[in-house]
């Protein structure tokens, strides 16, 4: 038997509810309940789960808008269609802003009514699918979006959780793509400052001359182009968390200014004379070995100790390969548009053998690429765009890979050829994009394609 959709019709005019019920129940898949006022409607909603509710806007005492608000709060997947007597578009549009799915003006056209109800039913299905998907993703990752069950990774996350509630400054260390920024968010979200701003500053991407004024702001006229006074990010973060990303890249003069600020909580805007004070908790991150930077004189020791009250080290992905299947599952679900694609066992094997110099970010990109490149629903080894040289057991040759020489080692040329083919495939044979990705000119790419006799399926430069 086909599924019956439950519809609630609410109108204080009995003739209307009668007509609506009759028209809808003529169709085999609709089951209709009727309420003649808002209170009755709310009673129905408390004890039943409706797919769609049709609500008259104007009803004495409890109006259709009140019922809509009740539904939003207590039965958010129920789709609401408002019924309006006069063609009062203004109120109707207001109800859409409040979350109604659509509205129909009375007298209504039965065909239009049925079509709208059907669309609402379909839309509810989408909402539910999304919710189920979200629950599923949260189940794998937890609400923080951090996936991983390996002992090393879990220890780092537990460490972060433990210190989150304190006010201590935290230094997160780990190679590129290991999840430092995610951990910083986790710490902020689990700290007492969670309702205050989280302000991230990528110290490596801001030119050094600008970093000081980004951090501490500047007064009008402090330098050329300083046309107006600007607040610094430390002010924006006041009360919350300041995340200094890539802190190991700060120049010596700015390190000195940052240290002064961290020691006293005071700063001056560039070109300013008054000392200002803010209250921020600092989390910093770096993919450099900061202790070594200190030993080699590139990073101030006093600043290192100031930032590094608590330190969290994130493991490399190759040190926690048992998390790869979980992460793959997570990215497949998150990145696929409609149906989640799958990974063949051979493809998973290739991923397990790889060395992952770019860590989780690289895995995320490889899965993204696999979803785009794969022809059916299953991602195969040929759809994975990685550097084959970094496969840990290259001697036996991973499935679908290029031939190896007699001594079992690929020549550099062979490697380059494979790499170029992968890049071309990834960019859908667009040579300009591929050249950009590989950091060479299109002409060089052209010459290499000729030299290695790479078959280009369709050129689109
Ligand atoms: N444990 C994880 N679970 C799920 N996704 C992760 C995990 N770790 C990292 N990612 C994803 O990998 C990407 C890189 O993570 P993130 O930006 O936190 O790394 P990072 O250490 O700050 O890298 P970089 O040093 O390059 O700035 C992000 O898209 C992030 O969502
Ligand atoms: Mg980062």
Pocket flag, ligand 1, residue 433 (CB < 6 Å): no
- Check residue 445 and give its pLDDT: 81
pLDDT at 328 over 90: yes
- Which segment of 24-38, 74-88, 199-213, 287-301 scores lowest on mean pLDDT? 74-88
Pocket flag, ligand 1, residue 173 (CB < 6 Å): no
Let me know whether 96 and 237 are in one domain: no
The boundaries of the domain holding residue 415 are 318-451
Let me know whether 344 and 418 are in one domain: yes
pLDDT at 461 over 50: no
SS (H, E, C) 408-437: CCCCHHHHHHHHHHHHHHHCCCCHHHHHHH
Give the separation between CA 416 and CA 172, rounded to whole angstroms. 35
Cβ atoms 104, 9 nearer than 8 A: no
Let me know whether 57 and 123 are in one domain: yes
Cβ atoms 51, 120 nearer than 8 A: yes
Give distance in angstroms: CA of 148 to centre of ligand 1: 12
* CATH code of 83's domain: 3.40.50.2300
Cβ atoms 54, 17 nearer than 8 A: no
- For 87, 234, 235, 389, the CA distances from 69, given in Å and listed in that order, are 22, 40, 38, 59
Let me know whether 237 and 378 are in one domain: no
Let me know if residue 458 belongs to a domain. no
Let me know if residue 411 belongs to a domain. yes
Mean pLDDT of the chain: 86
Let me know whether 96 and 188 are in one domain: no
- Check residue 458 and give its pLDDT: 46
More confident residue, 135 or 289: 289
pLDDT at 382 over 80: yes
Let me know if residue 32 belongs to a domain. yes
Task: Please state the pTM of the whole predicted model.
Answer: 0.65
Residue that is last in its domain, among 74, 106, 138: 138
Let me know whether 299 and 179 are in one domain: yes
Let me know whether 180 and 162 are in one domain: yes
- Check residue 389 and give its pLDDT: 59
Let me know whether 17 and 110 are in one domain: yes
Those residues whose beta carbon sits under 5 angstroms from the ion ligand 2 are 180-181
Let me know if residue 457 belongs to a domain. no
- Which residue's CA is minimally distant from atom 9 of ligand 1? 179
- Check residue 228 and give its pLDDT: 75
Give distance in angstroms: CA of 178 to centre of ligand 2: 8
Residue that is last in its domain, among 288, 315, 342: 315
Total number of domains constituting the chain? 3
The pLDDT tens digits for 396-450 are 333 334 444 455 577 777 888 889 988 988 887 777 788 888 988 777 787 788 7
* CATH code of 423's domain: 1.10.8.60
- Which residue's CA is minimally distant from atom 13 of ligand 1? 361
Q: Strand, coil or helix: what is 316?
A: coil
Give the separation between CA 91 and CA 376, rounded to whole angstroms. 48
- Check residue 163 and give its pLDDT: 95
Let me know whether 311 and 272 are in one domain: yes
Residues paired with 84 in a beta bridge: 105
- Give, for ligand 1, the residue of 138, 147, 182, 243 to mutate: max count of ligand atoms closer than 8 Å to Cβ: 182
- Check residue 212 and give its pLDDT: 92
More confident residue, 334 or 283: 283
- Which segment of 17-21, 27-31, 411-415 scores lowest on mean pLDDT? 411-415
Q: Which structure tokens are listed for 232?
A: 């610094």
- Check residue 273 and give its pLDDT: 85
Atom of ligand 1 nearest to the CA of 183: 18
Q: Strand, coil or helix: what is 378?
A: strand
Give distance in angstroms: CA of 346 to centre of ligand 2: 31
Let me know whether 277 and 381 are in one domain: no
Q: Residue 185: nearest ligand to its CA?
A: 1
Let me know if residue 145 belongs to a domain. no
Q: Note the residue count of the chain.
A: 461
Atom of ligand 1 nearest to the CA of 179: 18
* CATH code of 309's domain: 3.40.50.300
Pocket flag, ligand 1, residue 181 (CB < 6 Å): yes
Residue that is last in its domain, among 90, 111, 138: 138
- Check residue 388 and give its pLDDT: 59
Let me know whether 185 and 331 are in one domain: no
DSSP state string for 215-262:
HHEE-TTSSTT--S-EE-HHHHTTTSEEEEETGGG--HHHHHHHHHHH
- Check residue 76 and give its pLDDT: 82
The pLDDT tens digits for 253-294 are 999 999 999 998 899 988 888 888 999 999 999 999 999 999
- Which segment of 75-79, 195-199, 308-312, 389-393 scores lowest on mean pLDDT? 389-393
Atom of ligand 1 nearest to the CA of 174: 21
Let me know if residue 178 belongs to a domain. yes
- Check residue 395 and give its pLDDT: 32
Residues of the chain with pLDDT > 70, as a percent, come to: 93
Apex CA 249: angle with CA 243 and CA 255, to 5°? 80
- Check residue 216 and give its pLDDT: 92
Q: Which residues of 191-227 are buried (b: 16+ CB within 10 A; e: fewer)?
A: bebeebebbbbbbeebeeeebbbbbbbbbeebeeebe
- Check residue 457 and give its pLDDT: 60
Categorize the per-residue pLDDT at 141 as very low, low, confident or very high, splitting at 50, 70 and 90. Answer: confident
Let me know whether 363 and 393 are in one domain: yes
Q: Residue 245: nearest ligand to its CA?
A: 2
* Rg value, the chain, Cα: 30
Let me know if residue 209 belongs to a domain. yes
Categorize the per-residue pLDDT at 299 as very low, low, confident or very high, splitting at 50, 70 and 90. Answer: very high
Let me know if residue 456 belongs to a domain. no
Cβ atoms 223, 185 nearer than 8 A: no
Give distance in angstroms: CA of 305 to centre of ligand 1: 25
């Amino acid at each position: 038997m086909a599924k019956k959709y439950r519809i609630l019709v609410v109108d204080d005019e009995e003739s209307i509810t009668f007509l609506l019920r009759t028209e809808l129940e003529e169709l085999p898949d609709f089951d209709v309940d009727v309420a003649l006022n808002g209170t009755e409607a709310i009673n129905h909603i408390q004890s039943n789960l409706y797919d769609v509710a049709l609500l008259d806007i104007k009803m004495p005492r409890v109006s259709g808008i009140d019922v809509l608000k009740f539904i939003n709060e207590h039965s958010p997947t129920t789709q609401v269609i408002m019924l309006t007597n006069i063609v009062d578009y203004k109120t109707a549009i207001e109800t859409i802003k409040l979350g109604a799915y659509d509205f129909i003006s009375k007298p209504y056209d039965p065909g239009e009514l049925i079509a709208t109800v059907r669309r609402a039913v379909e839309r509810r299905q989408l909402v539910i699918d999304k919710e189920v998907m979200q629950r599923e993703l949260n189940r794998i990752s937890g609400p923080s979006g951090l996936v991983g069950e390996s002992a090393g990774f879990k220890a780092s996350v537990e460490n972060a959780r433990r210190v989150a509630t304190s006010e201590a400054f935290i230094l997160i260390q780990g190679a590129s793509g290991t999840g430092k920024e995610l951990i910083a968010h986790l710490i902020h979200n689990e700290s007492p400052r969670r309702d205050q701003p989280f302000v991230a500053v990528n110290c490596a991407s801001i030119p050094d001359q600008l970093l000081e004024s980004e951090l501490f702001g500047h007064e009008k006229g402090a330098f050329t182009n300083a046309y107006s006074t600007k607040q610094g990010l430390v002010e924006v973060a006041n009360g919350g968390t300041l995340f200094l990303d890539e802190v190991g890249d700060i120049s010596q003069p700015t390190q000195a200014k940052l240290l002064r600020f961290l020691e006293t909580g005071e700063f001056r805007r560039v070109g300013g004379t008054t000392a200002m004070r803010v209250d921020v908790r600092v989390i910093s991150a770096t993919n450099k070995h900061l202790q070594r930077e200190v030993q080699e004189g590139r990073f101030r020791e006093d600043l290192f100790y100031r930032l590094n009250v608590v330190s969290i080290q994130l493991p490399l992905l190759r040190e926690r390969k048992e998390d790869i299947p979980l992460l793959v599952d997570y990215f497949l679900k998150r990145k696929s548009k409609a149906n989640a694609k799958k990974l063949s066992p051979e493809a998973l094997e290739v991923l397990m053998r790889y060395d992952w110099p770019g860590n989780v970010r690289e895995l995320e990109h490889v899965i993204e690429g696999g979803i785009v490149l794969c022809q059916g629903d299953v991602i195969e080894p040929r759809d994975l765009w990685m550097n084959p040289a970094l496969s840990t057991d290259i001697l036996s040759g991973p499935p679908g890979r290029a031939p190896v020489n007699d001594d079992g080692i690929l020549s550099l040329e062979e490697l380059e050829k494979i790499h170029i083919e992968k890049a071309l495939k990834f960019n859908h044979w667009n040579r300009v994009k591929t050249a950009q990705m590989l950091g060479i000119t299109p002409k060089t790419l052209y010459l290499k394609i000729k030299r290695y006799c790479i078959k280009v399926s369709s050129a689109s430069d």
